[in-house]
Structure 1
Amino acid sequence: MNWKPVGDQERIQSLDIMRGIAVFGILLVNMKSFSGPDSPIRALSYEYFDEPYNVWTNVLLEFFVQGNFITMFSFLFGFGIVLMAERAKAKNTRFVPVFLRRQFVLLLFGILHVLFFWYGDILIMYAIVGLLMLIFYRLNKKFLITFGFALITVYSLFMTTLTYDYWSSGAAITYQSTQNELNEQEIVQSIEVYSDGTYLEIMKERIHEWGDLNRYFLFFIAGLLPMFSFGAYAAKKRTFTNRGLWKIWLLTLILGPGSKLLAVIFFPFKGEDWRYETAMSWGYEFGGAMMSIFYICSIVLLYRSGKCKRLFNYFQFTGRMAFTNYLTQSIIATTFFYSYGFGLYGEFGPLVGVIFACVIFSIQVLFSKWWMHRYYMGPLEWVWRSLTYGRKQRLKRHKLSNG
């Protein structure tokens, strides 16, 4: 029996909407790294772009976006793995070999993404963490939800405790001037390479930054795996009543925005003592995961209510080709900011980055709608699925869709 990718009639629209929204949220976060050396800037004890509008843009991004959408994608990935396994079982086909090919192709895309476009790739991490789900996807719902919540809580407490110890011991203040100087040097070097360097120099810097970003690889896995587990739990449970969703919504409203609000409250103490950095660590790790679930519940409840239908329709198109949109965001943004394009790296602060992200995403929305009326899947989705299933997938629609 042939096993094919999910068809139009089998798709769960709310999942496509979530993917579309997550792609936008990830772009908002990534734009700071596309346009400038965000990692060393974030490590400074002071605000690099210190204009009030840039400072508050950063604060709002940290609260509403940072850490919230990479976790949403992790949830959707876990959900998709269970769906894929269930479809394989229903059609009496082998799931593991196809899934392994799928992850291997994803890994290759991630490697190419890092080598030729951008160091902040998440596909490599998803390819590896996804393999761990081969251990978990058969487990029962109760274990998945308990394991996910326990792991994200323990991991967040661990990371927050490390941050608290570092700052409360006085070590952070003692080495602050030295660390600031090192970060300032890194900022200057990054701007010089990305705005004026050759393509090979940029590639070398990109690989170096990817290594720095992923030096704590196991920590990243511990941060993402709970959301994969939550997604697998949701896929196995499948049916949530509105009453049940409202309960989860209320709980995650308290745990998500409630956790992230601490960093906003203590923002004036950034670089002065332990309060801001500790609150920021807890808000990013635990708050980001809970905020993601809060967003997911909000999307599903709004979708069921019939509100925002037209807006959701646009997000659905971008979500159906989320893989293509994610990778093309890197291509567009790096071409704009790097030396082989307009060479504007390091010249704009967070607010301009948000505006530019909105422009890119608006274009992607229009293109996605045009494309999906004519084709069954995005161009890179077609490549990924054709390689995964070992045969060329049908791409072009014979008649234009009216959807």
Structure 2
Amino acid sequence: MKWTPVRDNQRIETLDIMRGIAVLGILLVNMKSFSGPDSPIRALSYEYFDQPYNVWTNVLLEFFVQGNFITMFSFLFGFGIVLMAQRAADHDRSFAPVFLRRQFVLLIFGILHVLLFWYGDILITYALAGLLMLLFYRLPRNALLITGLILITAYSLFMTILTYDFWTSGSALTFQSAQNDYHEHEISRSIQIYSEGSFSEIIQERIKEWTDLNRYFLFLIAGLLPMFLFGAYAAKKRTFTNKVLWRIWFLTLVLGPGSKLLPVIFFPSKGEDWRYDTAMSWGYEFGGAMMSIFYICSIVLLYRSGRSKYLFNLFQYTGRMAFTNYLTQSIIATTIFYSYGLGFYGEFGPLAGVIFAASIFCLQVLFSKWWLQRYYYGPLEWVWRTLTYGKKQRLKRIDKGSV
């Protein structure tokens, strides 16, 4: 039997809506790295953008956005893997070869993304970490859930204990003080290269920053794998009653926002003692995972209620083109901030970054709606599917206007 990508009438609308919302959340986080040297700024023991409006923008981003949407994408990634495996079984086709080709194509896109546009790429991580799902996707759904819960709890505790030990050992304050000058130098160097350097210099800097960011690659995978498993569990269960969703909603309301609130409470002690960084470690790892599930339940419950339908439709357009939108965000943002574009790198703080992100996303909503009225897939989705299935996919719609 012929095995092809899902058609319009086979799509799950809530998944597309979640992808669209996740694309916005990831842009809000990434904008700080698009517009300036976020990594060394975050490593400072004090606030680099110390204006009250920028401080509170950072605090709100940390609570509502940071770590919450990369985990949502991971959940959706795991969900999609199980759907793909089930469709392969329904068509009596082998899943692994096509899945491996899909991951390889994703890896190539990720490498090009790093070399040509931005160091903070997540596609390479998904391409490699996704391979682990070949070991898990056949597990019974309850085994997926239990394994995911054990992994996310153990990993979060491990990272939190490491942070606590680092601070209580007395070495943290000495280390941070000694590193402040180094990070300030890195900030100045990064601004000079990205705002004034040549394209080849920028490529070299991107490779260096990608290497630094992925120095602890296995830790990053350990943080994402549980969400893959939760997504796979949800795909196998498929039907969640409103009663069950409300129970999960209330539980994750306590575990998600509750965990993320801790670093907000201890924010005044940032750089002074163990409380802020330890709370941030737990809040980012465990809180981010629980917050994403809280968001997912909220989206599904709102969707089922019939409220905010127009708003959800807008996110659905961007979600159906999530791959294209994710990569074009890098193209647009780096053109605005890098030397080969407008050269605004390092000139704007977090609040301005939020405004830039909102503006770019609004343009993507308009473009996604226009494109999908004329074509079945986003342009990069079409390339990905064509290379994955080894056959040119139909792109142009016969009747315009039907999405």
TM (norm. structure 1) is: 0.99
The residue number in structure 2 matching 1:283 is 283
The alignment-based identity, stated in percent, is 78
SS across alignment from 2:393 = coil
CA deviations 1:127-166 (Å, max 9, x no partner) are 0111100110000011100000110000000101111111
1:353-364 aligned within 5 A: 353-364=353-364
SS across alignment from 2:340 = coil
SS across alignment from 1:392 = coil
Q: Return the alpha-carbon distance in structure 1 between the equivalents of residues 176 and 278 of structure 2.
A: 16
SS across alignment from 2:260 = helix
1:22-101 aligned within 5 A: 22-101=22-101
**1:348 counterpart = 2:360:** no
SS across alignment from 1:49 = coil
The residue number in structure 1 matching 2:217 is 217
Superposition deviation, residue 175 in structure 1: 2.0
CA deviations 1:12-34 (Å, max 9, x no partner) are 00000000000000000000000
SS across alignment from 1:332 = helix
CA deviations 1:235-277 (Å, max 9, x no partner) are 0000000000000000000000000000000000000000000
**1:316 counterpart = 2:336:** no
SS across alignment from 1:175 = helix
1:1-400 aligned within 5 A: 1-400=1-400
Superposition deviation, residue 185 in structure 1: 0.8
**Paired residues, number:** 403
Farther off after superposition, 170-179 or 370-379? 170-179
- Aligned residue identity for 2:48: Y
Superposition deviation, residue 177 in structure 1: 1.8
Q: Return the alpha-carbon distance in structure 1 between the equivalents of residues 357 and 115 of structure 2.
A: 23
Farther off after superposition, 290-299 or 177-186? 177-186
- Aligned residue identity for 1:211: T
Q: Considering only aligned residues, what root-mean-square deviation do their CA atoms show, in Å?
A: 0.6
- Aligned residue identity for 1:286: F
Superposition deviation, residue 125 in structure 1: 0.3
Superposition deviation, residue 401 in structure 1: 2.6
Moved over 2 A (4+): none
Farther off after superposition, 236-245 or 161-170? 161-170
- Aligned residue identity for 1:84: M
CA deviations 1:299-342 (Å, max 9, x no partner) are 00000000010000000000000000000000000010000001
SS across alignment from 2:373 = helix
CA deviations 1:29-67 (Å, max 9, x no partner) are 000000000000001010000000000000000000000
Structure 1: state its 5+ residue gaps.
Answer: none
Q: Return the alpha-carbon distance in structure 2 between the equivalents of residues 83 and 192 of structure 1.
A: 46
SS across alignment from 2:240 = coil
Structure 2: state its 5+ residue gaps.
Answer: none
Q: Return the alpha-carbon distance in structure 1 between the equivalents of residues 176 and 6 of structure 2.
A: 53
SS across alignment from 2:46 = coil
- Aligned residue identity for 1:330: S
CA deviations 1:343-375 (Å, max 9, x no partner) are 110000000000000000000000000000110
SS across alignment from 2:259 = helix
Q: Return the alpha-carbon distance in structure 1 between the equivalents of residues 177 and 239 of structure 2.
A: 54
SS across alignment from 2:154 = helix
